[in-house]
């Protein structure tokens, strides 16, 4: 029973990782502040007439300052 549950959890994790890789290949965005690849939920700010994307609010605030 435990082995079955562990196998199902492992298969679920593998599937989740593969799905994230597929979704990440669609649109590759880099944080304008730290350069990190943004996988989901980018923070978008308009600075100097240009829309920039950041990985988090912290990077967005650090870029502005």
Containing structural domain, residue 45 = 2-64
Are 43 and 58 in contact by the 8 Å Cβ rule? The answer is no
pLDDT single digits (tens) 10-52: 999 999 999 888 776 666 789 999 999 888 889 999 988 999 9
Total domain count, the chain: 1
Distance CA 65, CA 60 (A): 9
Q: What is the mean pLDDT of residues 55-60?
A: 92
Q: What is the SS3 assignment for 4?
A: helix
Q: 13-46 as b/e, with b when 16 or more CB fall inside 10 Å? A: eeeeeeeeeeeeeeeeeebbbeeeebeeebbebe
- This prediction has a pTM of 0.56
């Amino acid at each position: 029973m435990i082995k079955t549950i562990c196998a199902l959890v492992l298969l679920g994790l593998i599937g989740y990782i593969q799905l994230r890789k597929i979704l990440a290949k669609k649109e590759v965005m880099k944080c304008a502040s730290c350069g990190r690849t943004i996988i989901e939920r980018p923070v978008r700010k308009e600075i100097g007439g240009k829309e920039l994307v950041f990985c988090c609010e912290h990077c967005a605030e650090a870029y502005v300052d």
